[in-house]
């Protein structure tokens, strides 16, 4: 445990960020990393709470008090070992995870939890700089078993790395032109630069993972072919089907899904050229972002960097309170107003507003304004407030209302995978689907969720696949020698 009195002597101090005017001029990460003495002091605040509720908050089960103590004591290598024992990619979670561990920290009762996310990111950064965290971990014994992992998002990468380190031959299939899935194209560079993804991919390649990009499994390669050529198949397809918005004017030019907008900008930052005819740009436009989650926040930050005239963020639900309400006690996730770095960069936030439709400009082809109405909750139902309709200037509307589930046409249909009522692939606790030898991990089985859950799922399913393959190998050995 860290300094027993640290939380009494040291105030919570979060990382700083680059000034708004500076960071809006580029797509570099906006976080200013705290100095090592500051991080050590913050780690010392981890108190002797008896029951570390931070473990409950973290889907990965990170043993947070242990590595806080090691950081405080200056034992960097030992802290890295403890962190990597439960998390393949702390450099990712230390950047983009909303930190449910901090919400369930005992000090969060008074609103001043340990800066767990900053400490985690610092451990990961130190391990990268030293080279220790990127050193390949090669299996000593090869199993001779082949596993195909479909999808290279956080679940797929975590699953593939764990299986490769267990000695299996792993091939990752990715439909896009680069490895990373959500990490590559779903998260803006100002939140996470893609060099860290490249470094991890290089490490995994050195560990024996084979990456095949530009392959549409279910199209270029059938599910049947994968099953026939592998001992196990793990589907890490994500939940990429966006929730649409029905209403007048939905088909007008200038109304787009948020991810189409974000992916394009990530490609530009990577050096790709997006054809003018396909370009979705906010420069010189009045932008309306519909949806208040992380994807909506990313659209706001990207729009401001592209030079939008104005950015308005619409949320259907009422404005959350600034502090926990009595019916939302610790250590549950706090249902409070969250202001992201993108919100701070400039946008008008409107709560309890429902979009009715879009109005065309004089040409009749492009959106020029959005029609909306204020709403209220009554008996758990959303009800329009009479006489509250209003218009918002809108040259670009970005739909960031979440996702409905995985793409279930093609591969899922071909394999005959069972789906739940929400369209997610059904599996048991080990990730097994109704099709023998086919597993599923991440958002494809649980629905849209956090990166930290995806990594945890990838690790869990990898362990189950490894156990099954090992049992199969031993069974065949016994049959041959019996």
Report if residue 290 sits inside a domain: yes
Q: How confident is the model at residue 407 (pLDDT cuts 50, 70, 90)?
A: confident
Query: Are 457 and 365 part of one and the same domain?
Result: no
Query: Are 382 and 254 part of one and the same domain?
Result: yes
pTM of the model: 0.95
Task: Read off the pLDDT of residues 343-378 as tens digits, 9 standing for 90 and up.
Answer: 999 999 999 999 999 999 999 999 999 999 999 998
Here the CATH number for the domain that contains residue 41 is 1.10.1060.10
Angle, helices 116-130 vs 76-84, to 10°: value is 110
Q: How confident is the model at residue 481 (pLDDT cuts 50, 70, 90)?
A: very low
For residue 379, the model assigns a pLDDT of 86
Query: Are 373 and 422 part of one and the same domain?
Result: no
Query: Are 57 and 113 part of one and the same domain?
Result: yes
Here the CATH number for the domain that contains residue 379 is 3.50.50.60
Report if residue 140 sits inside a domain: no
Count of domains forming the chain: 3
- Mean of all residue pLDDT scores within the chain: 95
Query: Are 249 and 382 part of one and the same domain?
Result: yes
Query: Are 129 and 156 part of one and the same domain?
Result: no
Report if residue 1 sits inside a domain: no
Query: Are 280 and 386 part of one and the same domain?
Result: yes
For residue 428, the model assigns a pLDDT of 97
Task: Read off the pLDDT of residues 299-345 as tens digits, 9 standing for 90 and up.
Answer: 999 999 999 999 999 999 999 999 999 999 999 999 999 999 999 99
Q: How confident is the model at residue 418 (pLDDT cuts 50, 70, 90)?
A: very high
Query: Are 122 and 171 part of one and the same domain?
Result: no
Query: Are 178 and 70 part of one and the same domain?
Result: no
Task: Read off the pLDDT of residues 8-56 as tens digits, 9 standing for 90 and up.
Answer: 999 999 999 999 999 999 999 999 999 999 999 999 999 988 889 998 8
**For residues 121-130, average pLDDT:** 97
Question: Which of 96, 114, 134 is the last residue before a domain boundary?
Answer: 134
Report if residue 194 sits inside a domain: yes
Question: Which of 401, 436, 463 is the last residue before a domain boundary?
Answer: 401
Residue 393, pLDDT > 80, answer yes
Q: How confident is the model at residue 474 (pLDDT cuts 50, 70, 90)?
A: low
Domain extent for 457 = 146-241+405-481
Task: Read off the pLDDT of residues 48-79 as tens digits, 9 standing for 90 and up.
Answer: 888 899 988 999 999 999 999 999 999 999 99
Q: How confident is the model at residue 1 (pLDDT cuts 50, 70, 90)?
A: low
Query: Are 231 and 354 part of one and the same domain?
Result: no
Query: Are 124 and 157 part of one and the same domain?
Result: no
Query: Are 364 and 293 part of one and the same domain?
Result: yes
For residues 119 and 94, what is the distance between their CA atoms, to the nearest angstrom? 8
Task: Read off the pLDDT of residues 267-306 as tens digits, 9 standing for 90 and up.
Answer: 999 999 999 999 999 999 999 999 999 999 999 999 999 9
Residue 228, pLDDT > 90, answer yes
pLDDT, greater one: 472 or 15: 15
Residue 478, pLDDT > 60, answer no
Planar angle of CA 457, 146, 235, nearest 5 degrees: 35
């Amino acid at each position: 445990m860290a300094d027993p009195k640290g939380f009494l002597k040291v105030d919570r101090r979060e990382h700083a960020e680059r000034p708004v005017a500076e960071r809006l001029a580029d797509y570099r990460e906006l976080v200013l990393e705290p100095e090592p003495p500051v991080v050590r002091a913050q780690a010392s605040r981890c108190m002797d709470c008896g029951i570390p509720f931070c473990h409950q908050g973290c889907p990965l089960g990170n043993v947070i008090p242990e590595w806080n103590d090691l950081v405080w004591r200056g034992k960097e290598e030992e802290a890295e070992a403890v962190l990597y024992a439960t998390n393949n990619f702390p450099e990712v979670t230390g950047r983009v995870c909303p930190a449910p561990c901090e919400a369930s920290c005992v000090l969060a009762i008074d609103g001043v939890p340990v800066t767990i996310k900053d400490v985690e990111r610092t451990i990961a950064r130190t391990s990268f700089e030293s080279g220790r965290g990127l050193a390949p971990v090669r299996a000593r014994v090869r199993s001779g078993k082949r596993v195909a992992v479909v999808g290279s998002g956080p679940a797929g990468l975590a699953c593939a790395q764990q299986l490769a380190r267990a000695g299996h031959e792993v091939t990752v299939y990715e439909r896009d032109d680069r490895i990373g899935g959500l990490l590559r194209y779903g998260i803006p560079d100002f939140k996470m630069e893609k060099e860290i993804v490249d470094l991890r991919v290089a490490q995994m390649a050195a560990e024996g993972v084979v990456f095949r990009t530009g392959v549409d499994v279910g199209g270029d390669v059938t599910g049947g072919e994968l099953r026939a050529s592998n001992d196990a198949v793990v589907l890490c397809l994500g939940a990429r089907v966006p929730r649409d918005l029905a209403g007048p004017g939905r088909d007008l030019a200038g109304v787009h899904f948020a991810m189409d907008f974000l992916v394009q900008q990530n490609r530009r930052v990577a050096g790709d050229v997006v054809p003018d005819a396909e370009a979705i740009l906010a420069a010189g436009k009045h932008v309306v972002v519909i949806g208040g989650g992380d994807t909506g926040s990313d659209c706001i930050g990207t729009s401001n960097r592209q030079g939008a005239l104005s950015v308005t963020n619409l949320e259907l639900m009422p404005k959350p309170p600034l502090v926990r309400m009595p019916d939302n006690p610790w250590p549950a996730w706090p249902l409070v107003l969250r202001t992201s770095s993108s919100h701070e960069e400039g946008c008008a936030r409107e709560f309890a507003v429902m979009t009715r439709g879009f109005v065309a400009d004089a040409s009749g082809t492009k959106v020029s304004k959005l029609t909306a109405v204020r709403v209220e909750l009554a008996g758990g139902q959303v009800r329009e407030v009479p006489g509250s309709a209003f218009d918002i200037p809108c040259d670009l509307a970005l739909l960031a209302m979440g996702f409905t589930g995985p793409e279930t046409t093609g591969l899922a249909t071909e394999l005959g995978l069972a789906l739940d009522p929400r369209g997610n692939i059904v599996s048991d606790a080990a990730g097994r689907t109704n099709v023998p030898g086919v597993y599923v991990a991440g958002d494809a089985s649980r629905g849209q969720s956090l990166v930290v859950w995806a990594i945890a799922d990838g690790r869990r399913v990898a362990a189950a696949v490894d156990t099954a393959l090992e049992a199969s190998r031993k069974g065949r050995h016994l049959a041959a020698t019996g």
